[in-house]
Amino acid sequence: MEKIKTDLLVIGAGSGGLSVAAGAVQMGASVVLLEGHRMGGDCLNYGCVPSKSLLAAAHAAHAMQAGGAMGITPVAPEVDFAAAKDHVTRVIDTIKPVDSVERFEGLGVRVITEYGTFTGRNTVQAGAHEITARRIVIATGSSPLVPPIPGLDGVPHFTNETIFDLRDRPDHLLIIGGGPIGMELAQAHRRLGCDVTVIEGDRALANDDPEMVAIVLDRLRAEGITIEEGALASEVRGQAGAIEVEAKDGRVFKGTHLLVAVGRRANTDRLNLEAAGIKTTRTGIRVDDRLRTTNTKVYAIGDVAGGMQFTHVAGYHAGLIIREVLFGLPAKVKTAHLPRATYTSPELAQVGLTEAQARKRHGLGLDVARFDYHHNDRAIATGHTTGAIKVMVVGGKPVGVTIVGHQAGELIALWSMAIANGLKMSAVAGMVAAYPTFAEINKRAAGAYFSPKLFDNPWVKRVVRAVQRWLP
């Protein structure tokens, strides 16, 4: 057994763990990094990167059928499904060296390709290594949740960890789960030539603004995706090529392949957390607002910390950990400025409070500014007029923004910055965006907030008339 002592031990080489390890070692700390599976974690291998790559292939196929209004004769694309998956693999392979063992060893990190198990409050065993560390960061991420639906364990099914290995196009893909993963993969497979049925026990994209979600669902249904809401799966039966999902209300859905996309669970099983005095919750490891576990020498970041499960959140956590662990400076987690996006077409993005949440919290103190895509000149020119932005404003400052439409995931970044820095709506109104761009949508939303205060205010008109009389 090799015994290793280090300043910092990072367990898990997903986006959060890699960011912590790279930052810490380059600032002079000794770092050991453990990864028992694939470097890059879920995001690179099974999540963000492959899903967006497949969506890009699907978009290319869809574009061949969508140019009629611009004088381009629509043609049915010839989709090579296996080649589309080759594209996904190439994208992963292109990014992979950035997350590789070789790169991190080159930075000075001691990388051990084994899973880690706590044997004490500050000791972890990984294969033939026992590591003692001054501080430990758990960044083990999450895995697909496979619910105990009767019959599911006897029927072949996919999760996001296995669906990208499928090289033969499904005739009819059944998807249990209408969250972001389910809806993105539904549209990708539909545009690549599959029949798709989404089976959702509640309502699709239930965490988002219902009005904006309806815009997304209308588009997906128009493309031929069947979306069944209020259909809680109660039984799965059949075999490869002939699968049935029965809902609690008796509805039965038939398909050839099945994808389960009902959520995520934190990866804690291998860690033996009890040995380190670390407690868990229903959603992951219990942490305080400094990301410390119940063992204050151990931190948890990203999905395993039980909060928002997004790659960029893990990256945000990593930055706080660098401040906390390397410099001893307290760094508290804030969530109001953390955006999220669903990359369907149209995209759906959110930061801060939804309208319903803002009304519940702020009541009559809330103003809602809105601007529709069909008034934006770039949207008109490019045919992307479906969509809208809603900005929830309290005391002149945005507290939440919802955007549905083309490039919503890009547009939401400005509002994240505004909320993070406590900027007022006047700061966004004062921005100058190049013309014509979708970025003007953000500025016009700010203008929509000020317009009633300026144009519908009789006192403003009186002041202007008075000034005009006195001007030479």
Contact indicator for 172, 253 with CB cutoff of 8 Å: no
Angle at the Cα of 9 from the Cα atoms of 7 and 14, rounded to 5 degrees: 140
Query: Rounded to whole angstroms, how far apart are CA atoms 17 and 23?
Result: 10
**Which residues, 6 or more positions from 6, have their beta carbon under 8 angstroms from its beta carbon?**
30, 31, 32, 110, 131, 132, 133, 134
Same domain? For 159 and 241 the reply is yes
Number of C-beta neighbours around residue 187 at 10 A? 26
Q: Is the pLDDT of residue 245 over 90?
A: yes
Q: What is the token pair recorded at 187? A: 């549209």
- Tokens 């009186």 sit on residue: 462
Instruction: With cut-offs at 50, 70 and 90, classify the pLDDT of residue 455.
Output: low
pLDDT, the chain, mean: 95
Same domain? For 188 and 126 the reply is no
Query: Rounded to whole angstroms, how far apart are CA atoms 342 and 39?
Result: 25
The reported pLDDT for the residue numbered 192 is 98
What domain range is 126 assigned to? 2-39+100-144+265-327
Same domain? For 319 and 243 the reply is no
The residue-averaged pLDDT of 114-129 equals 97
> What does each C-alpha distance from 196 to 184, 187, 228, 451 come to in angstroms?
12, 8, 11, 44
Q: Is the pLDDT of residue 320 over 70?
A: yes
Same domain? For 403 and 313 the reply is no
Cis peptide before 77 (omega within 30 of 0): no
Buried b vs exposed e over 240-263: b needs ≥16 C-beta within 10 Å? eeebbbbbeeeeebebbbbbbbbe
Rg (CA), the chain: 25
Q: Is the pLDDT of residue 95 over 70?
A: yes
Contact indicator for 32, 10 with CB cutoff of 8 Å: yes
pLDDT digits (tens, 9 = 90+) for 222-233: 999 999 999 999
The reported pLDDT for the residue numbered 124 is 98
Domain assignment present for residue 414? The answer is yes
Same domain? For 315 and 431 the reply is no
The residue-averaged pLDDT of 9-36 equals 97
The CATH number given to whatever domain includes residue 202 is: 3.50.50.60
Instruction: With cut-offs at 50, 70 and 90, classify the pLDDT of residue 173.
Output: very high
Domain assignment present for residue 122? The answer is yes
Instruction: With cut-offs at 50, 70 and 90, classify the pLDDT of residue 194.
Output: very high
The residue-averaged pLDDT of 187-214 equals 98
Q: What is the token pair recorded at 286? A: 């219990």
pLDDT digits (tens, 9 = 90+) for 364-409: 999 999 999 999 999 999 999 999 999 999 999 999 999 999 999 9
pLDDT digits (tens, 9 = 90+) for 45-90: 999 999 999 999 999 999 999 888 899 999 999 999 999 999 999 9
Domain assignment present for residue 219? The answer is yes
User: 459 versus 8: which is more confidently predicted?
Assistant: 8
Please tell me the total count of domains within the chain: 3
Q: What is the token pair recorded at 264? A: 């995520």
Q: Is the pLDDT of residue 140 over 70?
A: yes
The reported pLDDT for the residue numbered 466 is 77
Domain assignment present for residue 78? The answer is no
Domain assignment present for residue 93? The answer is no
Contact indicator for 300, 285 with CB cutoff of 8 Å: yes
Q: Is the pLDDT of residue 462 over 80?
A: no
The lowest-confidence range among 70-74, 183-187, 191-195, 215-219 is 70-74
The reported pLDDT for the residue numbered 184 is 98
The lowest-confidence range among 156-165, 252-261, 431-440, 450-459 is 450-459
The reported pLDDT for the residue numbered 467 is 80
The residue-averaged pLDDT of 292-303 equals 97
User: 327 versus 402: which is more confidently predicted?
Assistant: 402
Query: Rounded to whole angstroms, how far apart are CA atoms 424 and 263?
Result: 36
The CATH number given to whatever domain includes residue 363 is: 3.30.390.30
Q: Is the pLDDT of residue 454 over 90?
A: no
